[in-house]
A and B are shown apart, each in its own frame.
Chain A
Amino acid sequence: MTQNTLALDVKDLSLSFRSRTGRVPVLRNVSIDIEPGEIVGLVGESGSGKSVMSLQVARLLPEDSVVVESGDVTVNGISTRSATLRQMTKLRGSQIGFIFQEPMTALSPTMTVGKQLALAIRRHRGGSRRGVREQAIAALDEVRIKNPDIVVDQYPFELSGGMRQRVVIALAMVGDPSLLIADEPTTALDVTVQDEILKLIRQLALDHGMSVLFVSHDLAVVSNLCRRVFVLYAGEVIERGTTRQIIDAPAHPYTRALVAALPRLDAAGDLSPIPGEPPDPRNVVEGCIFAPRCPQRFDPCDLKPPTMDLQRGHHAACWLYAREEAHDAR
């Protein structure tokens, strides 16, 4: 593994679901890259395909319903498209860690926290029973659970939502993954707890040199945690850049609208909502996917816009910038 290997390289991924009426495209030419140790955000509303994307990284979608039309997902240089099921199982846990929105879906209600951690520890590291218990306590300590020696013997239902999520994070970290996928991990949590969990994720990423793919609908949360952001709309990445670029100078009309639609703590001005609703993936329109709702729609938008370079690392798929480029070219 050279220095140049990306922790995650999603290259031009197009993915569809099989349905009775045919194939429904859910992701279209999605490209995401994450450097080692980097925290990257994937922002999208419901129906954008962000959860599908995060699950596909670890190939966790039911294989008989999913069709990868093109492209590939590479984790640390290992292609997931050509990997066997056995290789994927090995990948999950040791290279890829996962945390979901609802911790109770990841935790078994019938086993103590310690037992669940022990199972993971034995699988990835092996060891004697006492050694394993100590490691479990250490794992709980690392996710900043108070009194880990007591919690280790408790059941998930005895813990608060925030603590459960910490346990889930501890479980994900057992295999020392190089990539952590967090799919809306704090959406179901209180604001103060959310703040702590986000700080925890940041600290763990730093301590372990771990990359994070943080998937969320909350642009504010993503902007506080992630260095770079990919904006997903209706299955396409319509803008990407550093957090500063996206927040301070959003280029794509959708991103701009998203930023403008967020209520701010510091001001009580008018919110400008985006009219209409995201498109039905079954009726894919020709041309720009956002055009039907775009306030700046004009003629070229009937064709699908290519991704334009705006400045270093900041790209948007919008004809508005092609026009300027075309202008400069003359």
Chain B
Amino acid sequence: MSATTLSARRGIGRRSGTVLRRLTANKVTACALVVVAALVLMAVLAPLIAPYSPTAVQLSQRLEGLSSAHPLGTDEVGRDILSRLVYGARISIGVSVLVVAAAALIGMLLGALAGYFRGWTDHVIMRAVDVVLSFPSLILAIALAAALGPSLVNAALAIAIVKIPVYARLAYGETLRVRQQLYVRAARTYGIRSWWIIRRHVLPNIRSSIIVQTTLDLGDVILLIATLGFLGLGAQPPSPEWGSMISTGWHYLIDQWWYPTFTGLAIFATVMSFNLLGDGISDLLEPTSRD
């Protein structure tokens, strides 16, 4: 069918306008973008924003409610909750970005190798991917983190291992598509070696779908870190990681409601806005059919 007809089906004019303008066209995505930007800024500028040190213990001020000195109250050893939240953003956002980036890179490479070379490489890699994917991701992350020992690094590792197969499978499918393209066949007629073809033709052309997946995964990984932290398998005290804060905080829910509540809200707002932003970006890069 000609380009004319296809244009009708997709809506003409996608190329016009800057990325930002298109992104903010959707009100929801625009809000999400603002919140994410604010959170990232907060995380980066934590030492400048937080009124206190997140680990400063002040037993004389334990479990104090909202006040001008402590806008979000204090925890059971007198640490300022606001400061802890601000520094905690560094952990939540920072670690998840690292984890997603690592999982995406490793997964992309594995999937591309499996998809391009087929044969044994394909079997070995993709069957391992299948095995990992057959487990519910949360359960597997918990099991791995528990096996490796409770620490933030191990939690990050566990989550990365759980996420790699997602990218591997995505990259695999995309690689299968790309290697059918005539430009790959053309490259082979020039005598270009496989690894060169993967580097110059396969990886650049599967990149966008990988990126789309990362935007969708960020929110999920933030939640996973918090979950493992809550279970005591992630960041260890006195680290101001949000999940572990709730882990001790929820005991105080009735009388000192501010303690777990603000932390919970922080997690909720962060995950939500990252998810919505991810949705908006993925719609932009890969519009699905509008029903």
Interface residues of A (CB under 8 A from B): 17-21, 24, 26, 46-52, 55, 61-62, 65-66, 101, 281-282
Q: Which residues of B contact A61 (CB under 8 A)?
A: 8
Q: Give Cα A46 to B3, complex, Å.
A: 7
Q: Which of B3, B7, B8 has the most CB of A within 10 A?
A: B8
Q: Give Cα A65 to B3, complex, Å.
A: 15
Answer whether residue B9 sits at the interface, using C-beta atoms and an 8 A cutoff.
Answer: yes
Q: Which residues of A contact B8 (CB under 8 A)?
A: 17, 26, 52, 61-62, 65-66
Select from chain B the residue with minimum beta-carbon distance to A20. Answer: B13
Answer whether residue B1 sits at the interface, using C-beta atoms and an 8 A cutoff.
Answer: yes
Q: Which of B204-242 contact A (CB under 8 A)?
A: none
Q: When the two chains form their complex, are residues B4 and A26 in contact, meaning their CB atoms are under 8 A apart?
A: yes
Closest A-B pairs by Cβ, 5 of them: A20-B13, A19-B12, A46-B2, A19-B13, A51-B5
Q: Which residues of B contact A21 (CB under 8 A)?
A: 12-13, 16
Q: Which residues of B contact A66 (CB under 8 A)?
A: 8
Q: Give Cα A50 to B5, complex, Å.
A: 9
Q: Give Cα A17 to B2, complex, Å.
A: 14
Q: When the two chains form their complex, are residues B16 and A47 in contact, meaning their CB atoms are under 8 A apart?
A: no
Q: When the two chains form their complex, are residues A65 and B2 in contact, meaning their CB atoms are under 8 A apart?
A: no
A243 to chain B, nearest CB (A): 24
Q: When the two chains form their complex, are residues A47 and B2 in contact, meaning their CB atoms are under 8 A apart?
A: yes
Contact partner of B5 among A20, A55, A282, CB < 8 A? A55
Answer whether residue B14 sits at the interface, using C-beta atoms and an 8 A cutoff.
Answer: yes
Q: When the two chains form their complex, are residues A20 and B14 in contact, meaning their CB atoms are under 8 A apart?
A: yes
Against A, the Cβ 8 Å flags (1 = close, 0 = not) of B2-35 are 1111011101111011000000000000000000
Q: Which residues of B contact A101 (CB under 8 A)?
A: 1
B243 to chain A, nearest CB (A): 43
30 contacts between A and B (CB under 8 A): A17-B7, A17-B8, A17-B12, A18-B11, A19-B7, A19-B11, A19-B12, A20-B11, A20-B12, A20-B14, A20-B17, A24-B7, A24-B12, A26-B8, A46-B2, A47-B4, A48-B4, A49-B4, A51-B1, A51-B2, A52-B5, A52-B8, A55-B5, A61-B8, A62-B9, A65-B8, A65-B9, A65-B11, A281-B4, A282-B12
Q: Which residues of A contact B12 (CB under 8 A)?
A: 17, 19-21, 24, 282
Select from chain A the residue with minimum beta-carbon distance to B4. Answer: A47
Select from chain A the residue with minimum beta-carbon distance to B25. Answer: A20
B79 to chain A, nearest CB (A): 52
Q: Give Cα A202 to B17, complex, Å.
A: 50
Q: Which residues of A contact B13 (CB under 8 A)?
A: 19-21
Q: Which residues of A contact B11 (CB under 8 A)?
A: 18-20, 65
Q: Which residues of B contact A49 (CB under 8 A)?
A: 4
B158 to chain A, nearest CB (A): 40
Q: Give Cα A55 to B9, complex, Å.
A: 12
B273 to chain A, nearest CB (A): 26
Q: Which residues of A contact B17 (CB under 8 A)?
A: 20
A302 to chain B, nearest CB (A): 25
Q: Which residues of A contact B7 (CB under 8 A)?
A: 17, 19, 24
Q: Give Cα A24 to B266, complex, Å.
A: 47
Q: Give Cα A50 to B17, complex, Å.
A: 30
Give me 13 other A-B pairs in contact (C-beta within 8 A), A19-B13, A20-B13, A24-B12 excluded: A17-B7, A17-B12, A18-B11, A19-B12, A21-B13, A21-B16, A24-B7, A47-B4, A52-B4, A52-B5, A52-B8, A62-B9, A65-B11
B206 to chain A, nearest CB (A): 26
Q: Give Cα A17 to B4, complex, Å.
A: 9
Q: Which residues of B contact A26 (CB under 8 A)?
A: 4, 8
Q: Which residues of B contact A48 (CB under 8 A)?
A: 2, 4
Q: Which residues of A contact B1 (CB under 8 A)?
A: 51, 101
Q: Which residues of B contact A47 (CB under 8 A)?
A: 2-4
B259 to chain A, nearest CB (A): 49
Q: Give Cα A52 to B4, complex, Å.
A: 8
Q: Give Cα A20 to B40, complex, Å.
A: 32
Q: Give Cα A47 to B7, complex, Å.
A: 11
A43 to chain B, nearest CB (A): 14
Q: Which residues of B contact A62 (CB under 8 A)?
A: 8-9
Q: Give Cα A101 to B1, complex, Å.
A: 8
A51 to chain B, nearest CB (A): 5
Q: Which residues of B contact A65 (CB under 8 A)?
A: 8-9, 11
Select from chain A the residue with minimum beta-carbon distance to B5. Answer: A51
Q: Which residues of A contact B14 (CB under 8 A)?
A: 20
Q: Which residues of B contact A50 (CB under 8 A)?
A: 2
Select from chain B the residue with minimum beta-carbon distance to A19. Answer: B12
Q: Give Cα A52 to B6, complex, Å.
A: 10
Q: Give Cα A65 to B12, complex, Å.
A: 10
Q: Give Cα A20 to B198, complex, Å.
A: 37
Q: Give Cα A48 to B2, complex, Å.
A: 9
A178 to chain B, nearest CB (A): 25
B17 to chain A, nearest CB (A): 7
Q: Which of B2, B3, B4, B13 has the most CB of A within 10 A?
A: B4
Given A20-B14, A21-B16: A51 touches B9 (CB 8 Å cut-off)? no
B23 to chain A, nearest CB (A): 14
B141 to chain A, nearest CB (A): 37
B4 to chain A, nearest CB (A): 5
A182 to chain B, nearest CB (A): 14
B3 to chain A, nearest CB (A): 6
B20 to chain A, nearest CB (A): 15
Q: Give Cα A82 to B270, complex, Å.
A: 51
Select from chain B the residue with minimum beta-carbon distance to A101. Answer: B1
Q: Give Cα A101 to B2, complex, Å.
A: 12
A128 to chain B, nearest CB (A): 37
